[in-house]
Amino acid sequence: MVLDKSRKSTGFLFEGVASRLEHVNPNFITILSFFLAALFGLFYYLGSHGIIFIICAFILLAGSAYLDALDGAVARKFNKSSKKGDFLDHLLDRYSDFVILLGMTVSIFGNLPFGILAIAGTFLSSYVGTQSQAVGLNRIYGGFPGRADRLVIILLVTVAQVFTTNLPIFGYFITSWALLFLGVAGIVNSVYRATLAYRSIT
């Protein structure tokens, strides 16, 4: 994951807030992050009713992404990390990925075949990363795009979609092109991760 490498340098964005949340259950933050992601999907779908919905979708996804990192910061700072928390975090990450991509796909700016490809690529890449752990290896986060990369791409595309609402590119909106890119890149990354995992199995 490309953006994983910058987490240490951006830790100050979370540590200050996390230090004030000693009595907050990290799992609650995880659930809230998913809730905002689900609202993103809904608001993106409603984008045909006005650009304000796309703007709100951007804000919701930015909030969801922030909380997705904040839950881990709170858990580490106050020694609240647990297997249940880890399971819930990764489970809701996948649900979040689904509702985010679904909202983009079924919106007026999306494309069904490209959206299906994006969902497939995302889930295949994530599956290989966690399946490696199931066979006794470390969980694999390598390759591009990882989840953080994907969220940044979608945030940038959401901004671009605000300014290109009536400007399709070669017959498709930028949202559709982004879905196609995420799908192809996700599948390529799943093969890359699978290769790494397979070579590591003894």
pLDDT per position as a tens digit, 180-199: 999 999 999 999 999 999 98
For residue 181, what are the CA distances in angstroms to 22, 55, 117, 122? Answer: 40, 22, 9, 11
* Other Cβ atoms closer than 10 A to 5: 9
Q: Which long-range contacts (CB under 8 A, 24 or more apart) does 88-93 make?
A: 88/27, 88/30, 88/31, 89/30, 90/130, 92/30, 92/31, 92/33, 92/34, 93/68, 93/126, 93/147
Q: How far apart are CA 141 and CA 148, in angstroms?
A: 10
C-alpha span between 193 and 196 (Å, rounded): 5
Q: How far apart are the first and last CA of the chain?
A: 25
Number of structural domains in the chain: 1
Q: Which tens digit of pLDDT belongs to each residue from 51-97?
A: 999 999 999 999 999 999 999 899 988 888 888 999 999 999 999 99
DSSP 58: H
Tokens of 164: 């290109």
Report the percentage of the chain scoring pLDDT > 70: 94
Question: 79: phi > 0 → left, psi -120 to 50 → alpha, else beta; which?
Answer: left
Residues 91 and 74: beta-carbon distance below 8 Å? no
Give the mean pLDDT of 160-182.
95
pLDDT digits (tens, 9 = 90+) for 30-59: 999 999 999 999 999 999 999 999 999 999
**pLDDT > 70? residue 2:** no
Residue 30 is part of a domain; what is its CATH number? 1.20.120.1760
Q: Which two tokens stand for residue 148?
A: 């953080």
Domain that holds residue 52: 2-200
Instruction: Tell me: pLDDT of 136 over 90.
Output: no
CA distance 161 to 165: 6
